[in-house]
Amino acid sequence: MDTTGVGSAEPGTASTGADPRTAPAADRKRLKDHLISWATGAPLKGTPGPGVQTLVLSNADHVPAVVAAGLVGPGTLLLAPHDGTGVPAPATGYEGSLTEPGDELSNGQDFFLQTHSYASSPYMTVFGPTVVRLTDRPDFEAYLADADRALTEGVFPDFLLTSSVVLADAGALGGSHHPADGPAVRLYADPDGFVSTTPTGAVLGTVHDSLDTLTRRYAGIGPDEAALGAVVPEDIRAQALRSRPFLPRYLKAIAAMRILMAHGKTGLRVSGFGARLTPELAAAGADLGDATLPLVVHGDSETYMVISGRLFAVRREIARALECLLAAPERVTELVPAAELDQLDELLAQHGVRLDTPQVVAA
């Protein structure tokens, strides 16, 4: 379930050559790819080079400083606000904002990226690519409330199921951080020149600091505080996640539902979140704390299993067998016929998945 270089003109020289208002379509795609990477912490494909992959400035006056500090390499996308007179090379100009909820970034032509705060997202209209970001404590509380409701009622936030919406910094919300995330992947500099990996993260330094210095400070605080430390105290964030061990699986369920909805599938439920295919398992939950286990997704007439990010349509009997094996392995032989367990074993083996299924011994 998945998510080139800048010119080398002298820093400080006014330039409109990097203005995306005249950029070809390929450059607009590059802009989108970089901004999704910047929002999520997932690095761009390819071998990383020197400098930061994506560096967003709130003040174009800081272009010379970040260049002098060695933060800009040949593959860096350096973004700076465009005031109509050009931006210093080698920056690319943008209009609008990437940090203000309700605002949008524009390339001045035909690319727009909206930014919504989490709590306001249910009431906002999505017109295109949109980043949903936690901007304060109420946003964090709203996120937790949505997750709790999904667990008990099986209701997931509609806006998170929209394929054009990206939840920023999901790794700090119970998801998994990409191991490469950090200052080499993304940086943000606020109007005063303070630098963090995200607009909501703890400050790592200033626009004058080297990448090595920023990386060392990032390692000292960790990816969670680096992502959300400016808006949610780390002890509160960590305690909320510890008390909800299902959050990683919740985010995996959202990812699966997004794929299915993008293909026109509706009315689906995720096993363990407010519903089970097998009524006897209503209170079972052995699978909820392990995001690495497969998911079972079901509707009135169709069932799917999600394994390692891949989604497969399966017969209902096989989905029930998998659900039992995941949620209540001690009851599998009671609830699932031996022939269906054998079929499940064979199917899982075809996809390289190993789950321990009980062996049925004839009397």
Taking a C-beta distance cutoff of 8 angstroms, is the pair 80, 93 a contact?
Answer: yes
Q: In what order do the strands lie in the sheet with 303-307?
A: 269-270, 295-298, 303-307, 310-314
Determine the straight-line distance between the first and last CA of the chain, rounded to whole angstroms. Answer: 45
Taking a C-beta distance cutoff of 8 angstroms, is the pair 86, 93 a contact?
Answer: yes
pLDDT, residue 300, reads 87
Which residues have CB under 8 Å from 222's CB, separation 6+? none
Tell me: pLDDT of 34 over 80.
yes
Taking a C-beta distance cutoff of 8 angstroms, is the pair 89, 15 a contact?
Answer: yes
pTM (two decimals)? 0.89
Q: What are phi and psi of 166, to 5 degrees?
A: -120, 125
SS3 of residue 351 by DSSP: coil
Give the tens place of pLDDT for each residue, 115-157.
999 999 999 999 899 999 999 999 999 999 999 999 999 999 9
139 exposure class (CB count in 10 Å sphere: 0-12, 13-18, 19+): buried
Taking a C-beta distance cutoff of 8 angstroms, is the pair 204, 229 a contact?
Answer: no
CA pseudo-torsion sign 340, 346, 349, 355: positive
pLDDT bracket for residue 10 (50, 70, 90) = very low
Distances (CA, A) of 64 to 8, 16, 86, 130, 191: 12, 16, 14, 30, 14
Tell me: pLDDT of 216 over 70.
yes
SS3 of residue 70 by DSSP: coil
Q: What are phi and psi of 61, to 5 degrees?
A: -65, -15
- Looking at the chain, the whole-number percentage of residues with pLDDT higher than 70 is 91
Q: Give the DSSP H/E element, type plus range, for residue 306.
A: strand 303-307
Tokens of 142: 């709203």
